[in-house]
A and B are shown apart, each in its own frame.
Chain A
Amino acid sequence: MKNIQIILNAILSKDIFEYLTFDQNFEVVDSSAGLVKYLEKSPKVGSDILDFLPELVGSEEEIQEIFSKPHLNYVLESVYKNDYYVNISIEHYDVDRLLVLIHDITDVTLTQQQLLQYSNESILINNTLQNILDSQNALLFVTHNNIITYTNEQFMHYFGVKRMKDLQRKNLKIYEYFDSSLKSYEALYERVNSKEEYIVINKDTFILQATIVESSHTLFTLTKVTKLSNEMQQDTLTGAYKKSYFNTQLKRLINNKEEGIVVVLDLDDFKLINDTYGHQAGDDILKAFVKLIQDNIRGNDIFARWGGEEFLLLLEHTNIEHALKKLESLRTIIDRYTFKHVGHMTASFGVACKEEDDDMHSLLQRADQALYQAKDKGKNCIVFKKA
């Protein structure tokens, strides 16, 4: 009675059902006429049901149990058969027979398939784009109200995080690496704009570029300057930049009509060290001096060796008052440091601020003259020479 009800319900529900019954030997007893459209051939009475429904192979024991346990059933969903999608369910019919109901779900499944196809293709495209982005330089995507909305894998890898959440928790402010006086990414964009700028993060140098994307976001690209090119720009003995690199940066500053301060530094009485303690001692002192300066300047300050014991410092994005304070702190650090071989050493500083009419030569010349004045004043001091 229950099974007749199932069939009746199926018909009444206007769903398309076909049925088949089989006995305990898994042999077909009877079937509905429309069943053949799902099968390769018409099921004959007495034939093996597994020939028509190979989907049941492997589940024979489970199905057999339904003969003795009417409350059990067997369901297999979304099976593709002969260009149709069907659900197959097996119910208890009587002690000798089970009822197989085949429910045509082709229309709904094809719709689902289209959606799934669209979804899967989208995931594949998204993954490909993600892989492309991750293979690029470090990327940082920021809204104009200072919220980081995307970083690629290169960026996260550099900062040792795996997820955006970790990055947000770190409260990373890239603009502060560029210039500690900056307060936002918007300010960083204003500074970088369409140019290429150097930014130093954790002793690595990057070329920083910024692009407005749509009206609400800025994309910052950080291209790590390779170790080789860093080495090519550095003085092999001390690790300070070479004069040629300093010249490039100073030229850029003058061409872009940007503000900047040039400092010429000189270790006082260095020649005596070489004469007294030998050149190896002199080299050790130069290395220690450079490290002291490098450890106490901003990442984007350019510190270069001019030659011998004479060095250059280019300070940008600051004013003369702040710069002189900074230089005084450097002078004190050197004055208080105990150098290997010799102990106490001092340095003199000549300072010039870039004026509108300055070119490279006039600016360097003025700083150099200021250094001579510092030497004349008794060394271990800072002289600022106005234009």
Chain B
Amino acid sequence: MIRKKILLLGDFSVGKTSLVRRYVDGAFDDKYLTTIGVKISKKLLTLNGEEYEMLIWDVEGSTPSKKISLGYYRGASGAIFVTDVNRQETLDSLADHKEIFLNENPDAAYVVAYNKADMLSEVAKEKIELKDDTFLTSAKDDNNVEALFIRLMEKMVL
């Protein structure tokens, strides 16, 4: 079995932990509990007949005063950059998260989650321009969560 390390990166309170919880445990909790440090979850996945173990690093969110320890980035094969689609500042900081991660892992694959899409109206959703490998996700409604993780794995291994 092939093991792959992926990171979830983004500002605090964008829903990284909820995305992992939804994908790994199929559960969701509305209560916000700040992640500190890193929590690693495992998920088995079969792609093209090959079995993979995805090691999902739910990394604490960065805040204006606290940046992520670079030690977490080492050896990652991929990343999911998570933003809260309702908070512009989290979209603005996306480029910084990408830059730091790709400096450490230039060959790594990544996808982007515009999370908490359940809070948007259908009209507002239609107005959002989604570039390649960017997903409008909702951990609460279980919308596009699995597609997000699978797309990243496809980019990493296929």
Contacts and interface: CB of A to CB of B under 8 A. Distances in A.
A57 B32 contact: no
Given A54-B55, A80-B39, A59 B33 contact: no
B36 A58 contact: no
A133 B111 CA distance: 34
B75 interface: yes
B83 to A, nearest CB: 14
Interface stretch (A110-118, A154-162, A197-205, A305-313): A110-118
A1 interface: no
Interface stretch (B63-71, B114-122, B133-141, B144-152): B63-71
Contacts of A57: 3-5, 55, 75
A294 interface: no
A62 B75 contact: yes
B34 A113 contact: yes
B34 A120 contact: yes
Interface of B: 3-5, 12-13, 32-34, 36-40, 42, 53, 55, 60-61, 63-64, 66, 69, 71-72, 74-77, 87, 89
Q: Which 3 pairs show the lowest CB-CB distances between chains A and B?
A: A58-B75, A78-B37, A58-B5
Interface string A348-387: 0000000000000000000000000000000000000000
Interface string A21-57: 0000000000000000000000000000010001101
A127 B13 CA distance: 12
Q: Which interface residue of B33, B38, B39, B89 has the most chain A CB atoms within 10 A?
A: B38
Interface string A280-299: 00000000000000000000
A19 to B, nearest CB: 20
Interface in A112-157: 112-113, 116-117, 119-121, 123-124, 127
A75 interface: yes
Contacts of A62: 74-75
B156 to A, nearest CB: 12
A198 B106 CA distance: 59
A184 interface: no
Nearest to A112: B36
A120 B34 CA distance: 8
Given A54-B55, A58-B5, A121-B32, A76 B71 contact: yes
Contacts of A85: 36-37
A58 B37 contact: no
Interface in A68-124: 75-80, 85, 109, 112-113, 116-117, 119-121, 123-124
A119 B12 CA distance: 11
Contacts of B34: 113, 116-117, 120
Given A85-B36, A113-B34, A77 B63 contact: no
A77 B76 CA distance: 16
Contacts of B3: 50, 54, 57
A80 B37 contact: yes
Contacts of A112: 36
A81 to B, nearest CB: 8
6 contacts: A54-B40, A57-B5, A77-B37, A77-B71, A120-B34, A121-B32
Given A54-B40, A58-B75, 17 more contacts: A54-B55, A55-B38, A57-B4, A57-B5, A58-B5, A58-B74, A76-B72, A78-B36, A78-B69, A79-B38, A79-B40, A80-B39, A85-B36, A112-B36, A113-B36, A116-B66, A117-B33
B91 to A, nearest CB: 13
B40 A109 contact: no
Contacts of A75: 71
Contacts of A50: 3
Nearest to B77: A58
Contacts of B55: 54, 57-58
B38 A120 contact: no
